[in-house]
């Protein structure tokens, strides 16, 4: 099996949902349900992923090498053996960062055009 070289700039554009999943995993290694909860929490319930959408995204991110499945499992008592944990790869981190920077640039343009009422402190 030949290793696929993952260059962030060659990827297809991230969908907002994919970006959210990457953001969720940027903090911690999470299992599927936790990703859903995290995304919902961070967006104040505005983004709710369904299982179909989530695992479609996970499959994409896995095959693009942006996330990886964890081999070692947390030894917590509540660990369900059917759960799998995912972690952001360095490539995934870079893609997420690139996307965040791109958005930041867009935001500063929007600010300079007075399109944003409140400016949040970074």
| Residues contributing to the site for another protein (CB under 8 A) | 32-33, 36, 48-56, 58-59, 80, 82-84
Least distance between another protein and beta carbon 89 (Å): 18
Residue closer to another protein, measured from CB, 15 or 108: 15
Least distance between another protein and beta carbon 106 (Å): 26
Quote the CA–CA distance of 94 and 90 in Å, as a whole number: 6
Least distance between another protein and beta carbon 23 (Å): 19
Q: Is the dihedral of CA 15, 18, 23, 26 positive or negative?
A: negative
Residue closer to another protein, measured from CB, 22 or 36: 36
DSSP single-letter state for residue 76? -
- Look at residues 51, 83, 89, 84 and name the one whose alpha carbon lies nearest to residue 68: 89
């Amino acid at each position: 099996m030949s290793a696929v070289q993952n260059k962030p700039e060659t990827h297809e554009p991230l969908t907002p949902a994919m970006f959210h999943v990457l953001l969720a995993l940027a903090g911690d290694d999470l299992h599927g349900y936790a990703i859903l909860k995290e995304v919902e929490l961070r967006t104040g319930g505005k983004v709710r992923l369904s299982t179909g959408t989530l695992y479609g995204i996970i499959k994409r991110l896995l095959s693009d090498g942006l996330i990886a499945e964890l081999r070692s499992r947390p030894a917590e008592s509540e660990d369900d053996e059917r759960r799998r944990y995912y972690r952001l790869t360095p490539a995934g981190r870079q893609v997420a960062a690139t996307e965040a920077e791109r958005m930041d640039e867009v935001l500063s343009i929007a600010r300079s055009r007075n399109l944003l009422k409140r400016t949040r402190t970074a």
